Structure formats: structure tokens, C-alpha cells
Amino acid sequence: MPPRPAALSTGYHGVRLRLSGRWGAEILRGGERFWLGTFDSAELAARAYDVMVWRYDGAAGPRNFFDVDNLAATEFVAPTFSVVTRAEERTVHREYMRMSIRNRDEAEMATFCVAHPQHVAEELEFYAQLAAQRAAAAAARPSSSSAPPPTIVFDDSSDDDDPDWCDKMVADL
């Protein structure tokens, strides 16, 4: 891995140089980081940052360029980009990891099936027998609609309300 470049002051708010040599733009609002993307030049990244400042803060926010005075003009000169929140980024990463694991598992299973066809045949036979046993057990059971539901009867006459129950119990013993 090449050495990381020293911190570089771009002179623009929300813009930094990426290891790839491209320029990244991000904005922080309300404790949430919004990644605006990577751009070919620092100026394009700064223009994307300015669009988000205009969207959130209007003219009051810290802007990089003062040659435009409204949101429409800012969006006109800025490159197109999509805003990705940190939560969305994590969701995409998790789904990517799941798909990667799933694809690797499927490839390894296909390799195993080719290398060990006897195991695959035995497994298929086992599950066919298991399904047949379950079907036979289900057929042997009486259907649940023909039998009435079980009724539980309990005696509600208890001596718990009698204050002398303890003395009566001791006397019975």
C-alpha cells in the first residue's frame, strides 16, 4: 500500500483529497454525515458542497463560491450527485457482504457436489425418506377438525380466602 499523503488543505469547505487522487465532498448536518461523492477536481466537489449548503442553510451557510446567489443557479453549475447517508451506506455494505457470502457458498457447494456425487445422492435419499415418514405420520393422525378441542376443568372452590386455612392444614396433618 502506498504511503498516505500528508493532510492537504484544499481551501474549500467539505472537500478532501482521496487516496485514489480524486476529490471527495461531504457535509455534516445535525450529527449526520452526508457523503456527496468523489469528483475529478476539487472545484467540482466544492460546487456539490455548495448545493447542499444552499439546500440546508440558504445564503447563511459556509459556502465555497459566492458567484451564485440562489439554489437554482448553484444546482445549475454543480455536477449531478446523490446524497448517501451513513445508515444507507451501512445498509448497502451489509447487503453486499451477504451477497458475497451467498455467492461464495454457492460456488463452494457446486464444487463439493461435483467432487462428491455419492454424498449428494445419499442426502437426497435421506430427505426423501424423511418426507415420506412425515407424510405417513400425518396420515395416521386423526384430523384436528374432527376431534373437539380439549376442555380443562378446574375447581374454583379454594380455601385461600379463609384466614384460618393454615390452622386447618396443621390440624389435618
Give per-residue pLDDT as tens, 30-61. Answer: 777 888 888 888 988 888 888 888 777 766 77
Residue 70 domain-assigned? yes
| Rounded Cα–Cα distance for residues 149 and 29 (Å) | 60
CATH number, domain at 24? 3.30.730.10
Contact yes or no for 38/22 (Cβ under 8 A): yes
Range of the domain at 104: 86-121
What value does the mean pLDDT take over residues 59-78?
72
Total count of domains within the chain? 2
Q: Answer whether residue 5 shows pLDDT above 60.
A: no
> Is 97 found in the same domain as 75?
no
> Is 103 found in the same domain as 77?
no
Residue 24 domain-assigned? yes
> Is 73 found in the same domain as 94?
no
pLDDT in tens, 85-141: 778 888 989 999 999 999 999 999 999 999 999 999 999 999 999 999 999 998 888
Output the pLDDT for position 140.
86
Output the pLDDT for position 85.
74
Which alpha helices (DSSP H) does the chain contain, by range? 42-57, 71-77, 86-115, 117-140, 165-172
> Is 63 found in the same domain as 21?
yes
Amino acid at 38: T
> Is 95 found in the same domain as 69?
no
> Is 101 found in the same domain as 46?
no
Q: Is the dihedral of CA 127, 132, 136, 138 positive or negative?
A: positive
Residue 30 domain-assigned? yes
Output the pLDDT for position 81.
63
> Is 112 found in the same domain as 55?
no
Residue 106 domain-assigned? yes
Residue 75 domain-assigned? yes
> Is 22 found in the same domain as 49?
yes
Output the pLDDT for position 123.
93
The pTM of the full predicted model, rounded to 2 decimals, is 0.43
> Is 93 found in the same domain as 58?
no
Residue 68 domain-assigned? yes
Output the pLDDT for position 65.
78
Residue 128 domain-assigned? no
